């Protein structure tokens, strides 16, 4: 590590997450942070936003910047000084400390808040003190909250100290204003708001629209509707329309371009009438307002992120939203077609009722297709998920069950599970095991219908021995044998052993390799880890399920990784991120791309891992949520719904492949002719599907952000595939 300056004063923005109305050229309060004081160069840990080669407080958990500082073992008090740049009436200040990291234990006996009435050099007076925590506490982040004084302050200082020489690790400092006590002022990098470029000129309203006070339009659900979005050709007076197979969920969207303040606007969709007296009840149609909130654009994970944009993402559990006349707003309508629905056209009406103005109706049509989708047996779809990472108290059973149900409704059949377990040595020298939380979660998952092989993250910490010793190897073997026997006894299905995540380099890579080999000492044990091409080949003798990262830097070549996995006799899955607000990209990954790569499993980070105190914003920590926590159940996102549509695309493709195979195996001459036509269509679509990530780079596109197809192309392929399925199923 390079030598750094002894004391670094860093300027970072003080951002009020409750509002996003800072003009780009407006003067912003500045925050100076002396971090740490005195500095401890040799024990700095982590990767940070650091353009000038200086230590920087990165007060949020973006990318790899989760652990801000580690101090060497000492009994001396250490300090963090904060200058708010101006006097602010605060409600409270918060310090967070991480208790465990990569096998290292931390302790924090004393946390103190100091205030000064004058200059930043003091004198400092002790305002409050709290007890900390000991090494033997559970893993996780500990939060220390201090009430602020009842007068405005500019400076404050945190002091931390141990009574014995043990490491101290700190992660974040937060300050909360009295005016907005539930929203954090975050000491963070200098975020700048960026804006969506409107799609075209503002619409010219008709007399009727002028009188109503708004223009109603129906964008495709894959089009992101920002606050400054405008209707494009064909969307005004278009009505809502969709097509779906029986049993399928299908989205539609409706938006309002306001001409004035409309107050609270509510969208309702009534029952749909179908052929021969058939109908779709109103309770099969869910209406949610689409929220706009601050998110980091692009791939999100960069620790150099310095921009945010108010983007449409969360689908709120309400059909009502305030339309203030300043922003375009959108509603997301999801129709769940009953499995026994009669094919044909269904029609109804959507009604937008503003708080101030006349209601306007829009026609709704749904074509229920004469096809039966077949389950894609042998394929795995899963989310990274861990509602009880430390204890059962983190998430109620009711919420856990709701999350499992939500995942199943989005076609998931497994999870990559984060759940604690332990192995200790008892007084009699025998191993003792606690698998209570992981087995309870496994039971809930399996009872909820997620029955595919399930990766479980367990890191195998050594017990009273060195990592990699013969004794440690025996411990690994004993734990795996015991756990597998218990899983089998309880009928919990196959659990894949997942000892290290993303073991790309150094110690993590070596430890993963060693653990995989140790686990494979146990007959029937199967292993899993996330891989790049080089690690997959290195781990091959002991790795059963290769789950490739979708990145060029990781060597993802769709042909090469598929062939290498086949040569090694391994299962080939891939994984990527499901928390970026690009529903069209998620549709592509989950469907056509998945099919083209030839993988048999797709996993996603992550179902629900919120960060920071404000889940409506990425600025206090990136919220890795495909579905957010909600009071009445999971709050879905546009990307989560896009992924479901993508997996539906794959289900259509897979159904057609199976129908082709059946026709060839025992169909009539006419059926075989239809199979030829269907196979030609699939060949055409396969050729048009770009799975080589290098092609995106050559075209100046980002695979994780940019879709190479427009919405019409996706829908045309889906429609053509459905037509071929219908013809083959009719010809049986």
| Position 249 pLDDT exceeds 70 | yes
Question: Residue 200: inside a domain, yes or no?
Answer: no
pLDDT value for 182: 67
Same domain, 217 and 359: yes
Among 5-9, 21-25, 83-87, 201-205, which range has the highest average pLDDT?
Answer: 201-205
Answer for the pair 38, 143: CB distance below 8 angstroms, yes or no.
Answer: no
Instruction: Please give the residue range of the domain that contains residue 134.
Output: 9-190
Place of tokens 């109103």: 282
pLDDT in tens, 591-610: 999 999 999 999 999 999 98
Same domain, 99 and 159: yes
Same domain, 128 and 252: no
DSSP 270-332: --EE-GGG-EE-GGGEEEEEEEEEEE--TTS--TT--EEEEEEEEE-S-SEEEE-SSS-EEEE
CATH number, domain with residue 392: 3.20.20.80
pLDDT value for 26: 37
Same domain, 249 and 325: yes
| Position 456 pLDDT exceeds 60 | yes
pLDDT value for 45: 36
* CA 136 – CA 141 distance, rounded (Å): 14
194-220 average pLDDT score: 95
Which one, of 63, 29, 222, lies nearest residue 714 by Cα? 222
With 0-12 / 13-18 / 19 or more C-beta atoms within 10 angstroms meaning exposed / middle / buried, residue 452 is: middle
Same domain, 304 and 168: no
Strand 545-549 relative to strand 307-315, pairing: unpaired
| Position 102 pLDDT exceeds 80 | no
Torsion angles phi and psi, residue 558, rounded to 5: -60, -35
Answer for the pair 128, 169: CB distance below 8 angstroms, yes or no.
Answer: no
* CA 361 – CA 348 distance, rounded (Å): 10
pLDDT value for 31: 53
| Position 447 pLDDT exceeds 70 | yes
Same domain, 306 and 437: no
pLDDT in tens, 268-301: 999 999 999 999 999 999 999 999 998 888 877 5
Least reliable range by pLDDT among 80-84, 122-126, 314-318, 669-673: 80-84
Question: Residue 661: inside a domain, yes or no?
Answer: no
Question: Residue 659: inside a domain, yes or no?
Answer: no
Question: Residue 431: inside a domain, yes or no?
Answer: yes
Same domain, 419 and 515: yes
pLDDT value for 12: 26
| Position 2 pLDDT exceeds 60 | no
Domain boundary among 339, 368, 397: 368
| Position 52 pLDDT exceeds 50 | no
Domain boundary among 368, 394, 419: 368
Least reliable range by pLDDT among 160-174, 225-239, 681-695: 160-174
Domain boundary among 610, 642, 674: 642
* CA 659 – CA 673 distance, rounded (Å): 12
Torsion angles phi and psi, residue 9, rounded to 5: -100, 120
CATH number, domain with residue 58: 2.60.120.260
Question: Residue 170: inside a domain, yes or no?
Answer: yes
pLDDT in tens, 397-431: 999 999 999 999 999 999 999 999 999 999 999 99
616-632 average pLDDT score: 85
Place of tokens 């037509």: 723
| Position 559 pLDDT exceeds 90 | yes
Same domain, 145 and 273: no
pLDDT value for 606: 96
| pLDDT-above-70 percentage for the chain | 85
Question: Residue 604: inside a domain, yes or no?
Answer: yes
- Collapse the DSSP code of 617 into the 3-class scheme (helix H, G, I; strand E, B; otherwise coil) and give the result: strand
Same domain, 356 and 421: no
pLDDT value for 32: 52
Residue scoring higher pLDDT (629 or 136): 629
Question: Residue 706: inside a domain, yes or no?
Answer: no
Structure tokens at 35: 């971090």
Mean pLDDT of the chain: 87
344-357 average pLDDT score: 97
| Position 22 pLDDT exceeds 90 | no
Answer for the pair 314, 290: CB distance below 8 angstroms, yes or no.
Answer: yes
Question: Residue 361: inside a domain, yes or no?
Answer: yes
Same domain, 440 and 387: yes
pLDDT in tens, 567-594: 999 999 999 999 999 999 999 999 999 9
Same domain, 134 and 271: no
pLDDT value for 61: 30
Residue scoring higher pLDDT (134 or 525): 525
Whole-model pTM: value is 0.81
Residue scoring higher pLDDT (161 or 82): 161
- Reported as a pLDDT band with limits 50, 70 and 90, residue 60 is very low
Which one, of 564, 443, 434, lies nearest residue 138 by Cα? 434
- Reported as a pLDDT band with limits 50, 70 and 90, residue 177 is confident
- Reported as a pLDDT band with limits 50, 70 and 90, residue 62 is very low
Same domain, 251 and 282: yes
* CA 16 – CA 13 distance, rounded (Å): 10
pLDDT in tens, 463-489: 999 999 999 999 999 999 999 999 999
pLDDT value for 673: 97
For residue 171, give Cα distances in angstroms to 97, 254, 471.
5, 42, 34
Find the largest Cα–Cα distance for the chain.
94
CATH number, domain with residue 220: 2.60.40.10
Count of domains for the chain: 3
Strand 528-531 relative to strand 495-498, pairing: unpaired
pLDDT value for 78: 85
SS (H, E, C) 553-590: CCCCCHHHHHHHHHHCCCEEEEEEECCCCCHHHHHHHH
pLDDT value for 188: 40
């Amino acid at each position: 590590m390079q030598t750094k300056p002894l004391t670094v004063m860093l300027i970072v923005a003080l951002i009020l997450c409750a509002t996003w109305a800072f003009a780009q050229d407006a003067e912003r309060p500045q925050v100076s942070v002396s971090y740490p004081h005195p500095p401890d160069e040799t024990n700095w840990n982590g990767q940070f936003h650091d353009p000038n080669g200086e230590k920087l407080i990165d007060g949020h958990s973006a990318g790899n910047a989760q652990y801000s500082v580690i101090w060497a073992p000492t009994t001396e008090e250490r300090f963090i000084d904060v200058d708010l740049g101006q006097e602010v009436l605060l409600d409270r200040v918060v310090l967070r400390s991480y208790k465990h990291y990569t096998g290292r234990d931390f302790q924090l006996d004393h946390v103190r808040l100091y205030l000064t009435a004058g200059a930043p050099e003091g004198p400092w007076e002790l305002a409050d003190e709290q007890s900390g925590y000991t090494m033997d506490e559970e893993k996780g982040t500990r939060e220390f909250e201090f009430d602020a004084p009842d007068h405005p302050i500019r400076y404050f200082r945190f002091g931390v100290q141990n009574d014995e020489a043990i490491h101290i690790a700190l992660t974040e400092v937060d300050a909360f204003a009295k005016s907005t006590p539930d929203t954090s002022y975050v000491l963070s990098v200098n975020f700048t708001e960026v804006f969506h470029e409107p799609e075209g000129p503002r619409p010219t309203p008709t007399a009727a629209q002028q009188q109503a006070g708004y223009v109603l339009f129906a964008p495709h659900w894959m089009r992101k509707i920002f606050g400054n979005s405008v209707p494009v050709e064909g969307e005004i007076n278009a009505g809502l329309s969709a097509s779906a197979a029986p049993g399928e969920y299908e989205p539609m969207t409706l938006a309002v371009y306001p001409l004035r303040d409309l107050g609270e606007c509510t969208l309702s969709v009534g029952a749909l009438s179908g052929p021969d007296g058939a109908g779709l009840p109103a309770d099969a149609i869910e209406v949610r307002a689409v929220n706009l909130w601050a998110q980091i654009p692009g791939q999100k994970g960069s620790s150099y992120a310095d921009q945010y944009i108010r983007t449409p993402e969360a689908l709120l559990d309400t059909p009502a939203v305030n339309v203030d006349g300043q922003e375009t707003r959108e509603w997301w309508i999801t129709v769940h077609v009953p499995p026994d629905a009669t094919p044909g056209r269904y029609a109804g009406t959507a009604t937008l009722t503003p708080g101030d103005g006349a209601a306007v109706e829009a026609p709704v049509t749904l074509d229920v297709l004469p096809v039966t989708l077949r389950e894609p047996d042998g394929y795995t779809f899963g989310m990274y998920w861990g509602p009880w990472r430390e204890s059962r108290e983190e998430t109620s059973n009711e919420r856990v069950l709701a999350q499992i149900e939500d995942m199943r409704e989005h076609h998931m059949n497994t999870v990559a599970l984060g759940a604690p377990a332990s192995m200790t040595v008892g007084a009699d020298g025998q191993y003792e095991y606690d698998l209570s939380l992981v087995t309870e979660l496994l039971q809930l998952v399996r009872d909820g219908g997620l029955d595919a092989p399930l990766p479980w993250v367990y890191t195998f910490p050594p017990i009273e021995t060195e990592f990699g010793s013969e004794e440690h190897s025996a411990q690994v073997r004993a734990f795996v044998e015991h756990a597998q026997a218990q899983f089998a006894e309880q009928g919990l299905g196959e659990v894949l052993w997942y000892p290290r995540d993303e073991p790309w380099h150094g110690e993590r890579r070596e430890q993963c390799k060693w653990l995989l080999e140790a686990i494979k000492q146990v007959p029937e044990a199967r292993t899993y880890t996330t891989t790049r091409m080089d690690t997959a080949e290195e781990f091959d003798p002991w790795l059963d399920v290769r789950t490739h990262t979708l990145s060029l830097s990781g060597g993802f070549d769709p042909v090469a990784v598929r062939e290498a996995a086949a040569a090694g006799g391994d299962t080939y899955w891939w994984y990527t991120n499901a928390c970026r607000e690009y529903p069209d990209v998620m549709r592509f990954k989950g469907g056509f791309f998945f099919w083209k790569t030839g993988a048999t499993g797709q996993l996603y980070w992550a179902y629900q891992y919120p960060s920071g105190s404000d889940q409506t914003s990425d600025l206090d920590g990136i919220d890795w949520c495909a579905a957010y926590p909600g009071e009445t159940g999971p709050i879905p996102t546009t990307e989560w719904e896009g992924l479901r549509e993508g997996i539906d695309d794959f289900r259509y493709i897979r159904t057609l492949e199976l129908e082709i195979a059946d026709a060839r195996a025992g169909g009539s001459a006419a059926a075989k002719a239809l199979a030829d036509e269907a196979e030609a269509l699939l060949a055409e679509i396969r050729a048009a599907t770009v799975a080589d990530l290098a092609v995106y780079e050559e075209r100046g596109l980002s695979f994780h952000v940019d879709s190479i197809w427009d919405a019409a192309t996706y829908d045309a392929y889906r429609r053509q595939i459905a037509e071929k399925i219908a013809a083959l199923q009719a010809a049986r």
